[in-house]
Structure formats: C-alpha cells, structure tokens
Amino acid sequence: MNKSQLIDVVAKNTGLKKKDVETTVSALVDAIGASLVAGEKVQVSGLGTFEVKEKAGRTGRNPKTQAVIEIPASKRTTFTASKTLKDSVNK
C-alpha cells in the first residue's frame, strides 16, 4: 500500500474528504520525521515505535576492486512493531 492508497482507504472508512485525509496523513508523516530528526522516539499505540539508532563506522571492501575503504558512522531509522500489530499479522 502506498500513500495515495492509504488516503483512499482512510477516506472511505471515515467518510472524510480525500483532501482532508491527505492533509492529515502528510502532517502525521511530517511530525514523525521532525521528531526523529530531533532525536526523539515516536511510539504509536497499536502500531509500533520509530527511532533513530547510531551505526558505528567500519572498514569495508569495494567488491569490484577489493580495495579497503572506511565506511563512516551514520544514523538509521528503525521501526519495531507493537505486540498488537505482530499478533494481528500472525493470525
């Protein structure tokens, strides 16, 4: 499901206008993104937890040339599904 399909489903299930749902979904995505950029954890009951984790720098190898390269430290976004979501997927 992509964003426009999500908007269609929410609009159909709530009876709201697609334009209003689109604004709401965009605001939700923007708010989650802003919180993650600020280093905050975002927990949504029944869905899961979004958070940013640090990934340490390491030594790697270019597979084409076999040259050793340094891969810098970085941040990555993770999502951990809630127990409710896991249980509903595994039914």
Q: How confident is the model at residue 5 (pLDDT cuts 50, 70, 90)?
A: very high
pTM for the whole structure: 0.78
Amino acid identity, residue 46? Answer: G
What whole-number distance in Å separates Cα of residue 32 and Cα of residue 46?
A: 16
Residue whose C-alpha is closest to residue 49's, from 7, 2, 83, 6: 83
Print the SS3 string covering 20-74: HHHHHHHHHHHHHHHHHHCCCCEEECCCEEEEEEEECCEEEECCCCCCEEEECCE
Interhelix angle for 3-14 vs 18-37, to 10°? 130
Q: What's the mean per-residue pLDDT of the chain? A: 95
pLDDT value, residue 37: 96
Please write the tens of the pLDDT for every residue from 32-68: 999 999 999 999 999 999 999 999 999 999 999 999 9
